[in-house]
Amino acid sequence: MKVIYTDVLVIGGGLAGLRMAIGARRRGHDAIILSLVPPKRSHSAAAQGGMQASLGNVVKGQGDNEDVHFEDTVKGSDWGADQQVVRMFVNTAPKAVRELAAWGVPWSRVRQGDREVIINGQKVTITERGEAHGLVAQRDFGGTKKWRTCYVSDGTGHAMLFAVGDQAIAQGIPVHERKEAIALIHDGSRCYGAVVRDLITGELTAYVAKATAIATGGAGRVYRVTTNAVICEGIGAALALETGVAALGNMEAVQFHPTGIFPAGILVTEGCRGDGGLLRDADGHRFMPDYEPEKKELASRDVVSRRMEEHIRAGHAATSRFGQHLWLDITLLGRKHIEHNLREVKEICHYFLGVDPAEQWIPVRPAQHYTMGGIRTNHTGQSPTLRGLFAAGEAACWDMHGFNRLGGNSVAETVVAGMIVGEFIADFCESAKGDLDIPTALIREAVEAERARLDVLLHGGGTERADAIKIEMQQTMTDKVGIFRTGTDLEEAVHRLQGLLVRSRNIGLRHKVDGPNPELVTAYRTQKMLKVALCMTTGALARTESRGAHFREDFPARNDAAWLRRTLAMWRDPGDTLPCLTYEPLDVMGMELPPGWRGYGAKNYVDHPDTPRRAAEVAGVREQMKDADRHAVQAAVMPYEHLLPERFRGRNERIDEKLP
Partner 1 sequence: MTEPAPTAAAPRKLRFHVLRHDPRDPDSVPHVEQFELEEAAGMTLFIALNEIREQLDSSLAFDFVCRAGICGSCGMVVNGRPGLACRTLTKDLPTDISLAPLPAFELIADLSVNTGKWMRGMSERLETWVHSLEQDPDLRRIEAKMDPDLADRIYELDRCIECGCCVAACGTARMREDFVGAVGLNKIARFALDPRDQRTDADFYELVGNDDGVFGCMTLLGCHDVCPKSLPLQTQIAFLRRKMARTGLG
CB-nearer residue toward partner 1: 413 or 489 = 413
Strand partners, 208: 5, 193
Query: What's the rounded Cα separation, in Å, for the pair 660 and 647?
Result: 19
For the annotated catalytic residues, the residue numbers are: 257, 273
Q: How far apart are the C-alpha atoms of 395 and 391, rounded to whole Å?
A: 7
Give the H/E segment covering residue 289: helix 288-291
Minimum CB distance to partner 1, residue 485 (Å)? 27
Confirm or reject binding of residue 582 to partner 1 (CB under 8 A): no
- 3-class state of residue 31 by DSSP: strand
- DSSP line for 58-101: SGGGTT--HHHHHHHHHHHTTT-S-HHHHHHHHHHHHHHHHHHH
Least Å distance between CB 154 and partner 1?
A: 10
Cβ proximity to partner 1: between 163 and 397 the closer is: 163
Q: Does 439 bind partner 1 (CB under 8 A)?
A: no
Size of the site for partner 1 (CB under 8 A): 86
Q: Which of 351, 484, 583, 597 binds partner 1 (CB under 8 A)?
A: 351
Q: Which of residues 142-171 bind partner 1 (CB under 8 A)?
A: 152-153, 155, 158-159, 162-163, 166-167, 169-170
CB 567 within 8 A of CB 251: yes
Rounded (5°) CA angle 493-498-504? 125
Determine, following the binding rule CB under 8 A, whether residue 133 of this chain makes contact with partner 1: yes
Residue 597 contacts partner 1 per CB under 8 A:
no
SS3 label, residue 396: strand
Q: Which stretch binds partner 1 (CB under 8 A): 215-223, 224-232, 241-249, 370-378?
A: 224-232
Residues 364-383 that bind partner 1 (CB under 8 A): none
Footprint of partner 1 on 64-123 (CB under 8 A): 94-95, 97-99, 101-104, 106-111
CB of 60 to partner 1, least distance (A): 16
Nearer to partner 1, 132 or 497 (CB): 132
Does 230 interact with partner 1 (rule: CB under 8 A)? yes
- Of 81, 73, 87, 41, the residue nearest 642 (C-alpha): 87
550 three-state secondary structure? strand
- Enter the DSSP assignment of 222: G
Distance between CA 13 and CA 17 in Å, rounded?
5
Across 52-83, b (16+ Cβ under 10 Å) vs e yields bbbbbbbebbeebbbbbbbbbbbbbbbbbbbb
Give the footprint of partner 1 on residues 507-536 (CB under 8 A): 509-511, 513, 515-519
Stretch that binds partner 1, among 244-252, 259-267, 428-436, 613-621 (CB under 8 A): 259-267
Restricting to residues 46-65, which ones interact with partner 1 according to CB under 8 A?
Answer: 46, 55
| Residue 352 is a binding residue for partner 1 (CB under 8 A) | yes
For partner 1, give the closer residue by CB, 40 or 311. Answer: 40
Interface residue with partner 1, options 181, 267, 420, 421 (CB under 8 A): 267
Q: How far lies 106's CA from each of 155, 314, 416, 419, in Å?
A: 10, 44, 18, 20
Q: List the x/- string, 600-639, binding to partner 1 by CB under 8 A.
A: ----------------------------------------
Alpha-carbon gap, residue 214 to 212, rounded angstroms: 7
Mark the segment that binds partner 1 (CB under 8 A) among 3-11, 341-349, 396-404, 611-619: 341-349
Q: How far is the CB of 102 from partner 1 (least distance, A)?
A: 5
Measured distance between the N- and C-terminal CA atoms of the chain, rounded to whole angstroms: 58
CB of 49 or CB of 249, closer to partner 1: 49
Under rule CB under 8 A, residue 124 binds partner 1: no
**Min CB(98)–partner 1 separation in Å:** 5
| Binding residues for partner 1 restricted to 445-474, rule: CB under 8 A | 467
Least Å from the CB of residue 511 to partner 1: 4
d(CA 259, CA 268): 6
Q: Does 286 bind partner 1 (CB under 8 A)?
A: no
CB of 637: closest distance to partner 1 in angstroms? 22
Dihedral of alpha carbons 644, 647, 652, 658, sign: positive
